[in-house]
Structure 1
Amino acid sequence: MSALRPDAVPATRPTVVAFDVNETLLDLAPVRAALVELGQPADLLPAVFSRTLLTGFAAATAGTWCRFREAFDAALAQGTDLGDADRSRVADTFLELAPHPDVEPALRRLVQAGVRVVTLTHGSPGVAEAGLERGGVSPLVERSLSSEVIRAWKPAREVYLWAAGVCDVEPARLALVASHGWDVHGALRAGLTAAWFPRSERTYPAVYDPAALVAGDLAGAVDALLALPPA
């Protein structure tokens, strides 16, 4: 089920849909399991993941930059007593991620409708590709984009505009689908269409720009994008 927010700017059907990767497409369960194997609490991952984002956002906002893996390592060092080798072992499990069960049918629906599909992450290059390959959905994805290429983190405007340029479309013809409100907010501010649905977040934050589309799940987000009128 999906709905157009009453205060949202009308959007048109996108030519390309970019998907966020971590949590949105790929399940972080292997990272959680690695932490548990090292004696960490089962509920630690959300705090570590949030601090990873905070570290990356803060560095970018202050005018510096770090890689996702470096930010993740810093978050682990702050929140655990794990040594260097164990922290590296946990970080390596990002290459073991696999798609959520609802990902393959959602991507296939877009491709069958003639919409191009890409991924857009500030995560480490190779993570999206490995996860998509593991889930057997790589043929449905045209390309995987990591903003490490331009030394930036979402939700910086430049990331979304760079993605539009790489895909050779106007920003208005590029849509972002994410389960993170901050990512949708950044895409909207860059002139993209954006759709949010819940995974770890239960509601779209009211302090952000209204999401053009709010759905109850990933399938609903895709259906809502395909239901938009043509340009």
Structure 2
Amino acid sequence: MTLPRPDVVAFDVNETLLDLSPVAAALVEHGQPGGLLPALFARTLHTGTAATVAGVWVSFRAAFESALAQLTDLSGRDRSRVADSFLELSPHPDVEPALRRLAGAGVRVVTLSHGSPGVAEAGLERGGITPLVERTLTSESVRAWKPSREAYLWAAGACDVEPSRMALVAAHGWDVLGAERAGLTGAWFPRAERVYPPVFPAPSVVAADLAGAVEALLAR
């Protein structure tokens, strides 16, 4: 079934909208290789989603600092300082035109992260695009990491729309899969992943870039 053009488009935050380069720089500043970031970020996501599946709550920051403890010998104070670098993120260059395109088409824009409160807001403010985003949502509010169904349904409810009238744009296949399983329209484009995971059912939208994902949603 093809879902209609969405009334609300939610964007994942880390990597999808915001560049994680400052986190890599913080790792280097504390004597760690910047190339550790992908493994560190993946371990963070694994920790958080595993906890959700098991019925245990951990915040994004706690999961990130836990991953640092597992993969480095940094002290607790230095782990906290590296975690603080998430407040220094900025949007990727393609984000502002994509958000402006949606706003110009009369589509509401929100962010949906499982990240720490304040991270999305700081990044949007740094990029000067806060006015383009109606609200920032974090699934910490319901203590359920994406891709749990609860996170997406809560976001749709918070925006007062049916799941079928909401889309989720993300550069992570697992996030798009979760959104689609919850009844949202999923849109994936490559950022850190080269292809959409071939073991997952194909989502509603697979685009070459962020602009293409937005155009595909508007064309529905």
TM range (shorter): over 0.9
2:48 match = 56
Helix, strand or coil at the partner of 1:117: strand
2:21 is aligned to 29
The within-5 A match list for 1:130-145 is 130-145=122-137
- Give the RMSD, CA atoms, in angstroms: 0.6
Q: Is the 8 A contact 1:188 1:209 kept in 2?
A: no
2:108 aligned with 1:120:
no
**Structure 2: segments with no counterpart, 5+ residues:** none
Deviations 1:88-140 (A, max 9, x none): 00000000000000000000000000000000000001100000000000000
Aligned 8 A contact 1:119 1:144 in 2 = yes
Q: Which residue of 2 aligns with 1:165?
A: 157
SS at match of 1:194: strand
TM-score w.r.t. structure 1 length?
A: 0.94
Question: Residues of 2 paired with 1:208 and 1:61: CA distance?
Answer: 19
User: Which residue of structure 2 aligns with residue 5 of structure 1?
Assistant: none
Structure number with greater CO (CA < 8 Å, separation at least 6) is 1
C-alpha distance in structure 1 between counterparts of 2:218 and 2:204, whole Å: 13
In structure 2, C-alpha distance between the alignment counterparts of 1:61 and 1:173, rounded to whole Å: 27
Offset, 1:13: 0.5
- Using the alignment, how far apart are the partners of 1:74 and 1:123 within structure 2? 15
The alpha-carbon deviation at position 42 of structure 1 amounts to: 2.2
- The secondary structure found in structure 1 opposite 2:206 is strand
Query: CA–CA distance in 1 between the matches of 2:69 and 2:179?
Result: 31
CA deviations over 1:158-199 (Å, ceiling 9, x no partner): 110000001000000000000000000000000000100000
Q: Distance in 2 between matches of 1:185 and 1:208?
A: 7
Match runs of 1:27-106 below 5 Å: 27-106=19-98
Number of aligned residue pairs: 220
Which of structure 1's runs of 4+ aligned residues deviate more than 3 A? none
Superposition TM-score, scaled by structure 2 size: 0.99
Is the 1:24–1:178 contact (alpha carbons within 8 Å) kept by the matching residues of 2? yes
For 2:72 and 2:115, the matched residues in 1 are separated by 21
Whole-angstrom CA distance in 1 between matches of 2:201 and 2:180: 7
Paired with 1:61 and 1:210, the residues of 2 have a C-alpha distance of 23
